[in-house]
Amino acid sequence: MNPLIQLTGVTKTLKGQEEPRQILAGVDLTVNPGDSVAILGRSGSGKSTLLSLLGLFDRADGGQYLLNGNDITSLPERKAAVLRSAEFGFVFQRFFLLKHLTAAQNVAMALVNGQGWLPARKRKAKVMAALEKVGIAHLAKNKPTRLSGGEQQRVAIARALVREPKVLLADEPTGALDTETAELVIDVLLAATYSGCGLILVTHDRQHADRMARVLRLTDGRLSRANERVLT
Amino acid sequence: MIRMSGKFRSSLIIGGQGIRARKLRTLLSMVSLFLGVLAVIAVQAGGQVAEKAMLADIELQRGIDGTESLYLPQHEKTSQIVQETLQGKKGVSAFGSTQITIGEPNTTPLNPGGSSFDPRYSSFGGSGRYTTVCDASGMCYGKPVDEKQPPKGAAIELRTTTMIGDIRQFRPFRLVSGQWLDFDSAPSMSPQIVLNTAAAEGFKNNKIPAELHVQGGTKNATPRIVGVVDDGQGAYSATAYVRADELQNWAPAEAKPPAAAGAGKGAPANFGRSSGSGGLSSVFLAPGSEGIKQTLKARLAAAGAEVDGMSSQRTNPKKQMESMLNLMKIIFLAMASLVLLIGVAGILNVGLATVGERVEEFALRRAVGTSRMLLTFIVLSETLLTGLLTALAAIGAGVIGFEVAAMMLSGKLPALADMSFPWEAGMAGVIAGLVAGLLGGLIPAIRAARIPISTVMRA
C-alpha cells in the first residue's frame, strides 16, 4: 500500500527583501492513512512553511512530494486547487469564519468552491453531518459572533471535514483556546483519523503533541523524532 | 431548463452572499452607477422617441417608408382611367384635391380658402385678401379675393382630399374621434367626411348648417361628418377627407366622365377634370405594385396622355433621417458614456477597497479549493449583479419618467400618446449596467485572484 504522503528531501528557501533564507533543508516525511503526526518546533523554524507545502499552498524548491504515490511536486495551480478541495482539510489557529455567514454556511463554503456541484439538499445533509461529527449541529444557524472560541474552531474543523478529506492539516488549532476547549478540539481532530484520515498537527504544545501517534521536531530545516519537551 | 455549471452557480451564490453582507457598499456603488445607466437609457429612449415622432410626422405628410408617389399627367381621361384601373386593387390609392364649403350657401365662409381658425395661422390659406385655389395636379396657390364677395355667413371652407382607395394605408393619420371613412360600403348620396383637427375646431366653435357645396357644383348635399383625424398639418389649414365616388354626384356636371356617369354602386367616376374641382393628381403605390403602375401607364398612353412626363418618387424617410439621428445619438451617447465612466470609477473604488478588506476571505476560499479563475468570477459576479440591479432600478425610473413625460407632453406631441417605453432603451440600460459592472470589477477581481493562500498561514 502506498503511503498517503511521502516527502523526500524537500527544500524551501524564502526570498524576501533580506538575504534568502533556507527554511527547509531536506525534509523527509511519511504519513500513512489513519496516521497522526505532531510537528513541534520553535517559532520561525518552518513548521507553517512545511504545512504550506503539504497543503499545496506553495511549491517546494527541491525534493519530491508524493500523494498516494503520485508525484505532485510541481503541480499546476488549477490541479492543485482540485486536490486541495478533494484530498485536504485545513484547520488554522485563527478560525477564519466569515462573519456574515451562519455556521452551516461557513461549513458549506468548502462545498461551494466550483469543484463539483451538489444540489442544495445533499449539500445541507453533508454540512449537518459534519457539524454533527464535531458536536455542534444545534448551532448550525448561528453566526460566528454568537459562538464561543471552541465552537468557532469546531465549525472550522467541520468545514475541513465536510468533503471527507484524506489528509487533515492543522496549524496550531488550539493556540487561541483555553486548555479544556483545546482538549476537546484535539479529540475531534483525532476522531477523524479513525476513519483513515491522516492528521498532521503543527503545535507548540507538547501535551497535545503527545496525543499523536508520532511526534516530530523541525530543527534547522530538518525533521527528527522529538525526545524532549519543546520550549514555547 | 438550462442547467448552469457548478462554477457559475458557485460564483452566483458567493457573489450574492457578498452583496448581502455589504449592503451599504453595494448601495453606494449603485448610486454612483445609477445616473450613468439612467443617462444611457434616457439617450436611447429619447433617440427612439425622436425617431418615431419624426418618422410619424414625415409619414403623415409624405407616406410610410417605401411608398411610391406617382404624379399623373393632365388629360381629360386621366381620372377615369385611374379609377377604372385601381378599382378593387389593394396597396394603392389615388387622390386629388378640391375645395368644399359646408354651411350657409352663397356666403363668404368664416375661413376663406380653408384657412386655419387659429389666429396665429389664419393668414395661411388665404384669409383676408387672398384665397387658396388648388389645381388638378394638387398644386395650391393664393388668388386675390374678389372684392365684391358676398357677406360673411355661417359656413366653413375646407381643402378637400378626394380618394380612390384608402390613403390611410400610406399616410397613417391618427384617429382623434369618431371613425375613418368606410371604403367597403356602396357610395352614399350623403358624403362621409372626416375632418382634420384644425377643421374640427371651426365646427366645434360655430353653429354651421349641414349643407355641402362642392366648388363649381350647382346642387348641394347633406354631409355626414364621421370622424376627426390628426393629419400632421397641425392648425395650419382646415382639411377634409372624402371618398371621390361619394363627392362626384355633387361636382360640376361637365366634370363627370360619360363612361362612368351613373355607373352606380362600386363604379366611381371622375368628378372633376378641370382645375380645382378634384381631379385625381397622384397615386400612392405600395412596394410590389409595379404591375398596376405599368397597366396605368399603358392605358394612359393609349388614351393619348403624355406618359413620358410621368414622374414617380419613392419615400424613404428612415434613410433620410438615419444620418442625422445617428449623429445626434453618437453625441448624446458620448455624453452618457462619460457619466457612466464616473459610475465605473465608483464601482472600481468600492471594489478595490472591498478586496483589501477581504484578503483573508479570498485566501481562505483558495485554501478550500476555489481556483483563481473562480475567485475572479466571484468578484465579477458581485459587480455584475450590482450593475444589473442598478440597471433594473434605472429602467424602472426610466419607465416612470417616460410615462410622466408622455402624459405631460402628449398634447404638444401627439406621437407620444401612442408610444410605450422602448424595450431597446431597457436593453441598452442592462448592457450599460453589465459593462460598467465588468469594467469596474475587473481590476478588483484580478487582485483578489492574486492573493496568496499563505496569507491565512501568516495571519
* CATH number of residue A88's parent domain: 3.40.50.300
Average pLDDT over residues B93-114: 88
In a domain, A19, yes or no: no
Which among B5, B11, B453 has CB closest to A57? B453
User: Do A78 and B373 lie within an 8 Å CB cutoff?
Assistant: yes
In this prediction, residue B268 carries a pLDDT of 36
Mutation target for A interface from B4, B12, B359, B364: give the one with most A CBs within 10 A. B364
**B449-453 contacts at long range (C-beta below 8 A, 24 or more positions apart):** B449/B362, B449/B372, B449/B373, B449/B375, B449/B376, B449/B379, B450/B372, B451/B355, B451/B359, B451/B362, B451/B363, B451/B366, B452/A57, B452/B363, B453/A52, B453/A55, B453/A57, B453/A58, B453/B363, B453/B366, B453/B367
> Which of B367, B371, B452 lies at the smallest CB-CB distance from A90?
B367
- Looking at per-residue confidence, does B313 or B433 come out higher? B433
Residues of chain B with C-beta less than 8 angstroms from the C-beta of A99: 21
**Which residue in B has a C-alpha nearest to residue A100's C-alpha?**
B21
- Residue with C-alpha cell 384601373? B85
What are the tens digits of pLDDT across the range B172-184? Answer: 888 889 999 998 8
ipTM here = 0.88
Stretch B350-379: mean pLDDT: 89
Whether chain B has a CB inside 8 Å of the CB on A105: the answer is yes
What percentage of residues in chain B have a pLDDT greater than 90?
A: 20
Q: Which of B90-104, B309-323, B367-381 has the lowest mean pLDDT?
A: B309-323
Who wins on pLDDT, B256 or B416?
B416
Q: Which residue has the cell 466571484?
A: B378
Please name which of B229, B248, B214, B121 lies closest in space to residue B172, comparing C-alpha atoms.
Answer: B229
Helix (H, G, I), strand (E, B) or coil at A188: helix
Among A48, A99, A115, the residue with its CB nearest the CB of B457 is A48
Residue B135: pLDDT band (50, 70, 90) is low
At B143 the pLDDT is 63
The answer, yes or no, to whether residue B48 has pLDDT greater than 90, is no
Distance CA A135, CA A188 (A): 9
Which pLDDT tens digit goes with each residue over B223-247?
A: 999 999 988 877 788 999 999 888 8
Residues of A numbered 5-44 whose beta carbons fall under 8 angstroms of chain B's beta carbons: which are they?
none
Task: List all residues 6 or more positions away from A178 whose beta carbon is below 8 Å from its beta carbon.
Answer: A149, A150
Query: How many Cβ contacts (< 8 angstroms) between chains A and B?
Result: 90
Facing A57 at nearest CB: one of B5, B361, B454: B454
Question: Quick check: A52 contacting B, CB < 8 Å?
Answer: yes
Of B368, B372, B453, the CB nearest to A109: B368
Pull the grid cell for residue A95. 478560525
Q: What is the mean pLDDT of chain B?
A: 81
Distance between CA atoms of B236 and B296, rounded to whole angstroms? 34
Are A96 and B459 within 8 A, CB to CB?
yes
Residue A165 lies in a domain: yes
Mean per-residue pLDDT, B32-39: 88
pLDDT of residue A106: 94
- Least trusted range by pLDDT, from A91-100, B404-413, B423-432, B443-452: B404-413
Q: Do the Cβ atoms of B366 and A110 come within 8 Å?
A: no
The position carrying cell 465579477 is B380
Comparing alpha-carbon positions, the chain B residue that sits nearest to A112 is B10
For B449, nearest residue in chain A (alpha carbons): A77
Q: Are A211 and A185 a contacting pair, CB within 8 Å?
A: no
pLDDT given for residue B178 in this prediction:
93
Contact call for A92 and B456, based on CB within 8 A: yes
A116 contacts B457? CB cut-off 8 A: no
CB within 8 Å of chain A, chain B residues 341-380: 360-361, 364-374
Q: Is residue A169 part of a domain?
A: yes
Residue A7: inside a domain: no
pLDDT of res. B220 = 87
Please report whether residue A232 resides in a domain.
Answer: no
HEC secondary structure over chain B: CCCCCHHHHHHHHHHHHHHHHCHHHHHHHHHHHHHHHHHHHHHHHHHHHHHHHHHHHHHHHHCCCCCEEEECCCCCCHHHHHHHHHCCCCCEEEEEEEEEEEECCCCECCCHHHECCCCCCCCCCCCCCEEEEECCCCCEEEEECCCCCCCECCEEEEEEEEEECCHHHCCCCEEEEECCCCCCCCCCCCCEEEEEHHHHHHHHHCCCCCCEEECCCCCCECCEEEEEEECCCCCCECEEEEEHHHHHHHCCHHHCCCCCCCCCCCCCCCCCCCCCEEEEEEEEECCCCHHHHHHHHHHHHHCCCCHHHCEEEECCHHHHHHHHHHHHHHHHHHHHHHHHHHHHHHHHHHHHHHHHHCHHHHHHHHHCCCCHHHHHHHHHHHHHHHHHHHHHHHHHHHHHHHHHHHHHHCCCCHHHHCCCCCHHHHHHHHHHHHHHHHHHHHHHHHHHHHCCCCHHHHC
Decide: B170 and B60 in contact? Cβ < 8 Å: no
Which member of A52, A110, A114 has the closest CB to residue B457?
Answer: A52
Mean pLDDT computed over B93-99: 88
Q: Is residue A231 part of a domain?
A: no
Q: Cβ distance B203 to B156 under 8 Å? A: yes
Contact, B382 vs B445, CB < 8 A? no
pLDDT for res B127: 45
- Here the cell at position B322 is 438615419
pLDDT digits (tens, 9 = 90+) for A178-203: 888 889 889 989 998 998 999 999 99
Structural domain contains residue A12: no
Grid coordinates representing B443 are: 481590476
Q: Decide if B311 touches A, using CB distance below 8 A.
A: no
Residue B384 has pLDDT above 80, yes or no: yes
In chain A, the residue whose alpha carbon lies closest to the alpha carbon of B373 is: A78
Contact B6 A105 (CB under 8 A): no
Q: What does the alpha-carbon distance between residue B256 and residue B265 come to, in Å, rounded to a whole number?
A: 15
Query: What range does the domain containing A170 cover?
Result: 33-59+78-225
Band the pLDDT of B1: cuts 50, 70, 90. Answer: very low
Highest mean pLDDT range out of B126-135, B251-260, B269-278? B126-135
Per-residue pLDDT, A87: 92
Residue the block writes with cell 375646407: B158
For every residue of A20-74, DSSP letters joined together read: -EEEEEEEEEEE-TT-EEEEE--TTSSHHHHHHHHTTSS--SEEEEEETTEE-TT
Higher pLDDT, A143 or B421: A143
**Chain A residues closer than 8 Å to B366 by CB:** 81, 84
Comparing A9-23, B121-135, B328-342, which segment has the lowest mean pLDDT? Answer: B121-135
The angle at the Cα of B257, spanning B253 to B261, to the nearest 5 degrees, equals 75
Instruction: Evaluate if residue B138 carries a pLDDT over 80.
Output: no
- Out of A90, A100, A117, the one facing B17 most closely (by C-beta) is A100
Scanning the structure block, which residue is given the C-alpha cell 385601381?
A: B86
**B133 pLDDT tier (thresholds 50, 70, 90):** low
Choosing among B19, B20, B378, B457, which should be mutated to test the A contact, i.e. which has the most A CBs within 10 A? B457
What is the pLDDT, as a whole number, of residue B122?
61
CA-based nearest distance B374→chain A, Å: 7
- Yes or no, beta carbons of A114 and B372 under 8 Å apart: no
Predicted local distance difference test score (pLDDT) of residue B123: 58
Q: Which pLDDT score, from 0 to 100, does residue B84 have?
A: 85
Q: Look at residue B457 in the predicted model and tell me its pLDDT.
A: 65
Q: What is the pLDDT of residue B265?
A: 35
| Residue stretches of chain A with pLDDT short of 50 | 228-232
Identify whether the C-beta of residue A34 lies closer than 8 Å to the C-beta of residue A194: yes
Domain count, chain A: 1
In the prediction, which pLDDT does B132 show?
61
User: Are A84 and B368 an interchain contact pair (Cβ–Cβ within 8 Å)?
Assistant: yes
pLDDT tens-digit readout, A85-118 = 989 999 988 888 999 899 999 999 999 887 778 8
What is the model's pLDDT at position B141?
63
Chain B interface mutation, best of A112, A124, A152, A159, highest count of B Cβ atoms under 10 Å: A112
Surface-to-core class of residue B326, CB atoms within 10 Å of its CB (0-12 exposed, 13-18 middle, 19+ buried): exposed
Do B303 and B295 contact (CB within 8 A), yes or no? no
| Phi and psi torsions of A190, nearest 5° | -65, -35
Closest residue in B to A50 (Cα) is B457
Q: Does B24 touch chain A if contact means CB atoms closer than 8 Å? A: no
Residue B148 pLDDT grade (very low, low, confident, very high; cuts 50, 70, 90): low
